[in-house]
Amino acid sequence: MKLYLKIWRQKDASSPGKIVDYTLDGVEGDMSFLEMLDILNEELVSKGEEPVEFDHDCREGICGTCSLQINGEPHGPDRLVTTCQLHMRKFNDGDTIVIEPFRAKAFPVIKDLIVDRSSFERIQQAGGYISVNTSGNTVDANSIPINKYDADEAMDAATCIGCGACVAACKNASAMLFTSAKVSQFALLPQGRIEATERVQNMVRQMDLEGFGNCTNTGACEIECPKGISLTNIARMNREYLSATLKG
Amino acid sequence: MGILDSKIPSGPLADKWTKHKNDINLVNPANKRNIDIIVVGTGLAGGAAAATLAELGYNVKTFCYQDSPRRAHSIAAQGGINAAKNYQGDGDSNYRLFYDTIKGGDYRSREANVYRLAEVSGNIIDQCVAQGVPFAREYGGMLDNRSFGGVLVSRTFYAKGQTGQQLLLGAYSAMNRQINRGKIQAFNRHEMMDLVLVDGKARGIIARNLVTGEIERHSAHAVVLATGGYGNVFFLSTNAMGSNVMAAWRAHRKGAFFANPCFTQIHPTCIPVSGDHQSKLTLMSESLRNDGRIWVPKKKEDAIAIREGKLKPTEIIEEDRDYYLERRYPAFGNLVPRDVASRAAKERCDAGFGVNKTGEAVFLDFASAIERYGKEKALTSGLKNPDKATITKLGEEVVEAKYGNLFQMYEKIVDQNPYKTPMMIYPAVHYTMGGLWVDYNLQTTIPGCYAAGEANFSDHGANRLGASALMQGLADGYFVLPYTIGDYLSKDIRTGAIPTDSPEFEEAEKQVRERMEKLMSGSGIHSVDYYHKKLGKIMWNKCGMARNEKELKEAIKEISALRKDFWENVKIPGSIDSKNQELEKAGRVADFLELGELFAKDALHRNESCGGHFREEYQTEEGEALRDDENFKYVAAWEYKGEPKDAELHKEDLVYENIELKTRSYK
Amino acid sequence: MNLNNLFYDVESLLKTHPCRKFVEKPALMSGMIKSSLARKVIMALSGLFLVVFLTQHFTINFASVVDPETFNSWSHFMGYNPLVQFVLQPILIAGVIVHFVMGFVLEIQNRKARGTAYVKYKGSANAPWVSRNMIYSGLVILAFLALHFYDFWVHEMVYKYIEANPEDPTRYYAETVEKFAPIWRTIIYVVAFFLLSLHLWHGFASSFQTMGVNNKYTPAIKTFTKIFSVVIPLGFAFIALYHHLNPITH
């Protein structure tokens, strides 16, 4: 199929960017979206032009590196997939596809479609851990029995890949789904309860400092999340935060 | 033994590690504050090592090419992690895990290392649970286990189909805690370009800031390489696009021996290649073989009809299906080790029974598992005389709970519903058992340069068992390297900070710059990927699942010629001093083009078949691998001597004191 | 309850940014609440308070359709009871102001958080219109409130305190019906009630999520929200239309 691509090009963080039009022929349905961009880049390189830079790594939907706002949606029109898992069979011959970087003040553009998501790193560093040394001198794993329901729910929260689609989709560029996923995972486990109060306060504080917007419960993040992280995590974080505040 | 000293402690096998820990020198806490360690790579091994070293008090700098340590490719490991916990009470023990690993590795790994791995395996699970890793649990609240290939016990812990992700996020959270304390400085989007040696010791690295293009010098008292494997030498593999051998290869060029490069694992259950545009292969976890049955049609005409789309797999009756693994290996059935399963698939497809368009695929069928689980579920739910549709529905629910994310992944890629029609799978390059040669302390042949995880060669011999890579990465990172490195660093407590303005750093930086300038000066028209794909084709066709002398010799020549062409002609747009993904790729492919040649040379010299290394000349009448313990019971460690084909072989003889060498049989 | 956790000083935080833990407890900052979650809770609480008020308001108004006598007596009670006048009324006004001011503050921050705008942004793909446009439904309601205050509250104030008219427990019904005589006012009211409905449709259930309630009762809360956000504004509109269509003929 033949596609008309409108791609955001930006030399570096300090340069202005713009949409550049490309036409690409010979795209097949079995290709992933990134393989389609590979072909475009191959053409650009052979013409001596600079290829379109985009973040990607594992190409199997787990590393969370790939981003891309495709036709106004993070990771494109398909659900529960990352851009690398999006296949061209979701598009039709003659389609125009607008490709932009994830937009948020806290995700500044590095080049073309690549953004800097280190704000997520700092949120995790503010408290996304259990303070236990890695000496191995811990209790036997089975001496901490955990209700299967809680363990499964913690696992569901923990599957967040940190891609930033929630921020990109949210009309407020809020990072609540991302932050709450980590808070939830630990809040649900007995090991994580010990530091729960400080954790939620520190992580929320860092989230605010990074300049993300406020959650207005539109639910866009949940719909666009490639891992289906649920809004219940945000509610749980709200609850954790409230109780942490009330406890003082 | 030549110049290779594996430094295996004396004494009985089970006491070696404890004794060694008691014997080695320690660095006191006050002195640790004055010692810097660089960790390159932040996957399970690197992330775990960085966190633990920082906890101990060392100043750690981590480097990764990704934008976050959390994105290292350990994250993609699906199935699970082994540990000899014996929670199932099925007779598991450290010895049994040790034995299975040595046997699974076809007797080409070091006894002492493997035993240590088994010994600390239980601790890993304790550690991870304490960190909040949400492993799967039973209704009673206890940890659940599943089985993996090549073993007869259930010792694999898992977190859905995302075990690697959860373990990596555990290590990452431990790192974050130390970053928050200021004990780890994380350099993300940085690539190690070279290792710097001062007075013969590893004292730092030259790194490139991948955002700005800046070349940076970083010094330390020791350098840990935990940069993963080199499967991407095949272009198509289950590795991440960025996975590369650069760090290890740079170290190799500076004097670190490269061991057993030809030991590569071809994973049997991957989604088959669909076309030329394909950039990467996706693994379907080995755990699927717990419940999936592998088959091809018994009749060639059926296979042809399926390939042409005239026949559906579900239309082939039971009698006309060849469950070839169950047929050939009744004891282990579908759960034979990976190398065996891969070769068997190749054998069937080569014989003309392949089932997809390219003829390179076999079926992985869940119909009987769905039926079995459905009946079980109906019984436990108190349903009497359930109809077939109900059983199928219930069964599909059980299968979804177990493997839902994998099935979804498959459906997204292939556009077929694996609940209704069998999956198609084919082997693909997955893991590299070979790597930098290390001694018992995980030190390479360069003093002060350590290698951990997949980057070293140590524990898996010629074939790795499923769910053992995660175990090894975390064992190295959490429990082995942080202690053994202290023995070396104890001599450095008076050294003080290593300056970065020494001639050695100067020279190393100059060479890095020159190399990049040379890459940028190519005068041809082809992109980096063009060369990478060509290399991959040579590797897959001539150094893949089956190898022979003639083709290996051809491969050496072809790779050498391709490398020459690459250096003269590769076309890289953009500049050195800015973000440039093509340049990043070029640097990596340049090293693959050298490694590939050494790989072929190693495969050529090893005149036997063992584990993942299958030489067509050396097989039994039944087509099983024919090992030659008389002549090849050693680790082949190659010393860099200029061109890869001139590399010098050093042998580390493998001594088996606790295990009797047998022909590996899974029948 | 330690309110210090709700208030913190961005300037001093930035110094310790990006990854330092805080040591000192930040100072209470001029009453501005700096935590996004705290702001949201205030939004939710004031919103829920207004929902309660709305219910009460509706109940009294509906009496005007059912029985003018009852309406008059309830209205008189509300107009002259000191507790209502001097405690509840100021709280209500404060609630309205807090809800609006906080709404604006959040909106401004949220707009800033995007930075560069998307060339193409398909909000409809993942979130309902009402949830994305609370600011607009809110603004319309605010404009309506101005008219509504002018119509009734200002009138009351003038009647009671400026002109200092004597108490008349029977005047309310007639005054109310008279207000709806002009068709333009009736139309404005009905349109405002429609937007109120949209606002409630998202806002009511959403406030529970903000307060941390998302559990097995959530589907029930959502259903109740839908019923409430249709029935109450529809009822208000009915009252307005009823009085417009049934003027008092002298």
- B51 contacts in A (CB within 8 Å)? 134
Helices (H), chain C: 10-16, 36-66, 68-80, 82-83, 89-114, 129-132, 134-148, 155-157, 172-179, 183-210, 218-245
- C41 contacts in A (CB within 8 Å)? 238, 242
- The C residues from 66 to 125 touching A (CB cutoff 8 Å) are 106, 109-110, 112-123, 125
Interface confidence, given as ipTM, is: 0.98
pLDDT at C31 over 80: no
| Interchain CB distance below 8 Å, B132 and A191 | yes
Contact of A116 with A221, CB cutoff 8 Å: no
**Strand B449-451 versus strand B222-225 pairing type:** parallel
| Interchain CB distance below 8 Å, A105 and C122 | no
pLDDT at C10 over 70: no
| Interchain CB distance below 8 Å, A189 and B134 | yes
Of B71, B293, B338, B588, which residue is the catalytic one? B338
Torsion, CA B106, CA B109, CA B115, CA B119, rounded to 10: -90
What count of Cα atoms within 13 Å lies in the side-chain half-sphere of residue B552? 24
Q: What is the pTM of this model?
A: 0.94
For position B494, what pLDDT does the model report? Answer: 93
Question: Among B419, B493, B408, which Cα is nearest to B32's?
Answer: B493
pLDDT tens track of chain A, all 248 residues? 999 999 999 999 999 999 999 999 999 999 999 999 999 999 999 999 999 999 999 999 999 999 999 999 999 999 999 999 999 999 999 999 999 999 999 999 999 999 999 999 999 999 999 999 988 788 999 999 999 999 999 999 999 999 999 999 999 999 999 999 999 999 999 999 999 999 999 999 999 999 999 999 999 999 999 999 999 999 999 999 999 988 86
Chains near A (3 or more Cβ pairs under 8 Å): B, C
Q: Per-residue pLDDT tens for A200-223?
A: 999 999 999 999 999 999 999 999
Q: Which residues from C are below 8 Å from B when comparing CB atoms?
A: 19-21
Contact of B165 with B66, CB cutoff 8 Å: no
Please give the backbone phi and psi of residue C33, each rounded to the nearest 5 degrees, phi first: -90, 125
| Interchain CB distance below 8 Å, A134 and B52 | yes
Tokens of C99: 């809800």
Summary mean pLDDT of chain B: 95
In terms of phi and psi (left: phi > 0; alpha: psi -120 to 50; beta: otherwise), the region of B150 is: left
Tokens of C114: 């995007």
Please name the member of A111, A120, A138 whose beta carbon is closest to the beta carbon of B127: A138
Please name the member of A126, A134, A142 whose beta carbon is closest to the beta carbon of B127: A134
Contact of B6 with B652, CB cutoff 8 Å: yes
B222-225: strand order across its sheet: B184-187, B59-63, B36-40, B222-225, B449-451
| Start-to-end C-alpha separation, chain C | 59
Q: Per-residue pLDDT tens for B527-555?
A: 999 999 999 999 999 999 999 999 999 99
Closest-CA distance, C96 to chain A, in angstroms, reads 18
Question: Among B548, B587, B553, which Cα is nearest to B570's?
Answer: B587
Chains near C (3 or more Cβ pairs under 8 Å): A, B
Determine how many CB atoms are found less than 10 A away from the CB of residue B204: 28
Angle C124-C129-C130 from CA coordinates, rounded to 5°: 155
Q: Per-residue pLDDT tens for B198-211?
A: 999 999 999 999 99
For position B373, what pLDDT does the model report? Answer: 95
| Interchain CB distance below 8 Å, A62 and B165 | yes
Give the integer Cα–Cα distance in Å for B119 and B98.
Answer: 8
| Interchain CB distance below 8 Å, B66 and A57 | yes
Least confident of B220-234, C17-31, C40-54: C17-31
For position C9, what pLDDT does the model report? Answer: 43
Is the peptide bond prior to C18 cis by the omega test (within 30 degrees of 0)? Answer: yes
| Interchain CB distance below 8 Å, B573 and A51 | yes
- The C residues from 30 to 49 touching A (CB cutoff 8 Å) are 34-41
Least confident of B43-57, B644-658, C22-36: C22-36
Q: Per-residue pLDDT tens for A149-181?
A: 999 999 999 999 999 999 999 999 999 999 999
Helices (H), B183-323: 246-253, 300-307
Summary mean pLDDT of chain A: 96
Tokens of B120: 């600390």
Q: Is C45 exposed, middle or buried (0-12, 13-18, 19+ CB in 10 A)?
A: middle
pLDDT band of B286, cuts 50, 70, 90: confident
Amino acid identity of residue B613, one-letter, is: H
Contact of B43 with B72, CB cutoff 8 Å: yes
Tokens of C95: 């609630």
Contact of A156 with A235, CB cutoff 8 Å: no
Question: Is the minimum CB–CB distance between B179 and chain C shorter than 8 Å?
Answer: yes
Give the integer Cα–Cα distance in Å for B453 and B460.
Answer: 11
B108 is catalytic: no
pLDDT at C5 over 50: no
Please give the backbone phi and psi of residue B374, each rounded to the nearest 5 degrees, phi first: -60, -45
- The A residues from 219 to 248 touching B (CB cutoff 8 Å) are none
- C19 contacts in B (CB within 8 Å)? 179-180
- The C residues from 177 to 206 touching A (CB cutoff 8 Å) are 202, 206
| Interchain CB distance below 8 Å, B409 and A85 | yes
Give the integer Cα–Cα distance in Å for B57 and B178.
Answer: 10
Tokens of C33: 């609440």
Amino acid identity of residue B184, one-letter, is: I
Q: Per-residue pLDDT tens for B237-248?
A: 999 999 999 999
Closest-CA distance, A54 to chain C, in angstroms, reads 17
Please name the member of C4, C122, C131 whose beta carbon is closest to the beta carbon of A72: C122
| Interchain CB distance below 8 Å, B179 and C21 | no
Please give the backbone phi and psi of residue C120, each rounded to the nearest 5 degrees, phi first: -130, 125
**Strand B634-639 versus strand B648-653 pairing type:** antiparallel
| Interchain CB distance below 8 Å, A72 and C121 | yes
For position A248, what pLDDT does the model report? Answer: 67
Q: Per-residue pLDDT tens for B161-201?
A: 899 999 999 999 999 999 999 999 999 999 999 999 999 99
Mean pLDDT of the C20-40 span: 58
- A51 contacts in B (CB within 8 Å)? 573, 581-582
